[in-house]
């Protein structure tokens, strides 16, 4: 077997592992009403499949609090900037803010979203898959490859869930309720932003912080009323949804700037050490 085939095979395993983890969580969710157990199952399966293959440093599990904080700050700041401009322009109006409900939602959502999505997806894709592709290819190819495999995960997870529950009617390319065109486009932009986050600091925790913040902001702003999040937004028209990829692009640009500054600092440090 040629080396490129082995590399792509290892990279694809990250997407397969996440598909299995998410499918297993979906199967458990059908039998258990509790949201926390399926989320814990997803994280556990992902860790058991990926962690034996990679050292912690290879996965980017370094600079924990600092890396995570950078992800939250950059993504949250980008969302505030873009959605704030949308609010000033009259495109978004906000309902009454209920502090207690918001705090409860943020905490519960953080636990579930981290276990079900942010941590397992990042350790599988921007951790294992990205590392596998970067072992042979330059950043652009690795980014495209990782994001392409990321797009396959939702469909793959429904296949796994269908097998585990003997329910073939659950198989679909995108999650239930999502548009088959706009969802992959948003997921593509999101995938590249998560890679930019990983590259900017060298820490997978930055990607995890980005992932969790993205989910939290969108669930409060777009689906706050349905989720009883204590705060929600009304959009003047469906076109305002373009602000979501807009703030992701701003976050990605910010990460690129941070990454370039980090690279320059490393070069400057190397030059001083050689002098």
pLDDT over 90 at 25, yes or no: yes
pLDDT of residue 259: 85
Tokens standing for residue 159? 């296949």
* Contact call for residues 121 and 18 (beta carbons, < 8 A): yes
Beta carbons within 8 Å of 29's beta carbon, 6+ residues apart:
35, 38
pLDDT over 50 at 271, yes or no: no
pLDDT of residue 34: 86
State the pLDDT confidence band at 219, using cuts at 50, 70 and 90.
very high
Give the orientation angle of helix 36-50 with respect to helix 99-113, to 10 degrees.
Answer: 40
DSSP secondary structure letter of residue 114:
I
Sign of the Cα torsion 254, 257, 260, 261 reads negative
Q: What percent of the chain has pLDDT over 90?
A: 80
Between the two ends of the chain, the Cα-to-Cα distance in Å is 45
pLDDT of residue 266: 62
Other C-beta atoms closer than 10 Å to the C-beta of 103 total: 11
pLDDT over 50 at 178, yes or no: yes
Give the mean model confidence (pLDDT) for residues 83-96: 95
Check residues 106 and 267 and name the one with the higher pLDDT. 106
Task: Provide the β-strand partners of residue 92.
Answer: 235
Check residues 40 and 166 and name the one with the higher pLDDT. 40
* Contact call for residues 173 and 225 (beta carbons, < 8 A): no
12-23 pLDDT, tens digit per residue, is: 999 999 999 999
* Contact call for residues 204 and 126 (beta carbons, < 8 A): yes
To the nearest whole number, what is the mean pLDDT of the chain? 92
* Contact call for residues 247 and 81 (beta carbons, < 8 A): yes
Give the mean model confidence (pLDDT) for residues 157-161: 95
Check residues 224 and 269 and name the one with the higher pLDDT. 224
Phi, psi of 199 (to 5 degrees): -70, -35
46-66 pLDDT, tens digit per residue, is: 999 999 999 999 999 998 899
């Amino acid at each position: 077997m040629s080396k490129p085939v082995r590399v792509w095979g290892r990279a694809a395993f990250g997407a397969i592992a996440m598909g299995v983890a998410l499918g297993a969580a979906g199967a458990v969710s059908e039998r258990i009403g509790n949201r926390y157990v399926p989320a814990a199952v997803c994280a556990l399966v992902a860790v058991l499949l990926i962690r034996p293959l990679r050292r912690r440093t290879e996965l980017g599990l370094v600079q924990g609090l600092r890396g995570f904080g950078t992800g939250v700050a950059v993504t949250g700041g980008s969302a505030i900037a873009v959605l704030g401009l949308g609010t000033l322009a009259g495109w978004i109006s906000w309902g009454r803010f209920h502090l207690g409900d918001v705090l409860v939602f943020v905490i519960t959502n953080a636990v579930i979203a981290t276990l079900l999505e942010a941590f397992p997806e990042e350790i599988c894709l921007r951790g294992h898959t990205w590392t596998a592709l970067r072992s042979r290819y330059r950043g652009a190819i690795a980014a495209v490859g990782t994001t392409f495999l990321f797009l396959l995960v939702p469909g793959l997870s429904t296949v796994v869930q269908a097998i585990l529950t003997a329910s073939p009617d659950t198989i679909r390319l995108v999650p239930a309720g999502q548009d088959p065109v706009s969802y992959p486009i948003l997921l593509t932009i999101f995938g590249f932003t998560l890679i930019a986050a990983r590259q900017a600091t060298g820490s997978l925790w930055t990607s995890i912080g980005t992932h969790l913040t993205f989910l939290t902001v969108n669930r409060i702003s777009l689906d706050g009323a349905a989720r009883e999040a204590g705060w929600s937004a009304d959009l003047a028209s469906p076109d305002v949804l373009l602000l979501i990829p807009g703030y992701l692009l701003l976050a990605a640009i910010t990460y690129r700037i941070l990454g370039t500054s980090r690279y320059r600092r490393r070069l400057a440090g190397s030059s001083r050490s050689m002098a």
